[in-house]
Amino acid sequence: MTIQLGYLSLGVYVASFVCYARILYAPNVWLGRLATVLLAGGILFQYYALLERSRSMHAVPYDDLYGSMSLFAWLLGITYLFVETFHRQRSVGGFVTLLLALWIALLGLVAPREGPAAPPARGPLFALHVTLNTWAYAAFALSFVLSLVYLVQDRVLRSRRLGAAFWRFPALDVLDRMARSSVYVGLVALIVGGVLGFIWQHRLMGRYTWGDPKVIVTVAILAVYLTYLWLSRSAQWRGARAARLCALNFVIVLFSYTFVNLYLTRFHRFF
């Protein structure tokens, strides 16, 4: 059932991508709304897929690569939907839904689909800690996409060779604000998630672990995104330089999500 729902959500994300991509070339209000509705539908189907998996595992699905990647994609979809609604801007939806579809297709190929054995019960605080941190990563992924679109748009404007889709993309100022919105979401989620993690650990062990590589990298992520927010308002950095920094910051997020989780940390190794 989980697999079928996963495929269904993949299909709906692909349909949403087609609609978003189409409105870049031929504007159509209803097609734009359909794209948003399809994205919301994909998120809903994926929610049920995750729910099924959670029920079978009796835990939030983060203890295996498949569940964790799926949770990441779901939170990315939700964050984008929030940013799209807040900024009333659909034109980057094509990139996000393409990323979502590719991500889910990839996880279907590389990650084992069978749910792991039920993980040890760690309580709701821990589940919230992991979910919020995954959400932060998803929000940073969105800011990465938006910053890339910003850089492309900036380059096109400077080259003065405007393509067909140029007029459909958001203004640089709007892209900048959208990227910052998702970084704000990511930072709040990361801070709250981190604090909850510390509280959970203290309750369990009566102490805090500061030396774990995952904790160190998370602090580094916090620092680089706070620096981005600060620099993006300064005279020398605002604009394309800040967008480049935001895109580069995501490398550390990827490093934390993959290399640190898989090889460096003991405490945060779940799969």
How many residues touch another protein (CB under 8 A)? 27
Stretch that binds another protein, among 26-34, 76-84, 128-136, 217-225 (CB under 8 A): 26-34
Residue 149's nearest CA partner among 38, 256, 252, 20 is 20
Minimum Å gap between C-beta 32 and another protein is: 11
How many CA atoms are closer than 13 Å to the CA of 110, on its beta-carbon side? 10
Q: What are the phi and psi torsion angles at 30 (to 5°)?
A: -70, -35
Could you give the CA distance from residue 214 to residue 64 in angstroms, rounded to a whole number?
17
String of contacts with another protein for each residue 203-242, x by CB under 8 A = -------------------------------xxxxxxxx-
The structure tokens 């996963």 sit at 6
Quick check: 117 binds another protein (CB under 8 A)?
Answer: no
Question: How near is the Cβ of 64 to another protein at its closest, in Å?
Answer: 43
Binding to another protein (CB under 8 A) within 136-175 occurs at 153, 157-158, 160, 162, 164, 166-167, 169-174
Q: Which of 210, 247, 249 is nearest to 227 (CA)?
A: 249
Find the shortest distance in angstroms from Cβ 92 to another protein: 14
Cα–Cα dist 259/85, whole Å: 34
Interaction site with another protein (CB under 8 A): 25-29, 153, 157-158, 160, 162, 164, 166-167, 169-174, 234-241
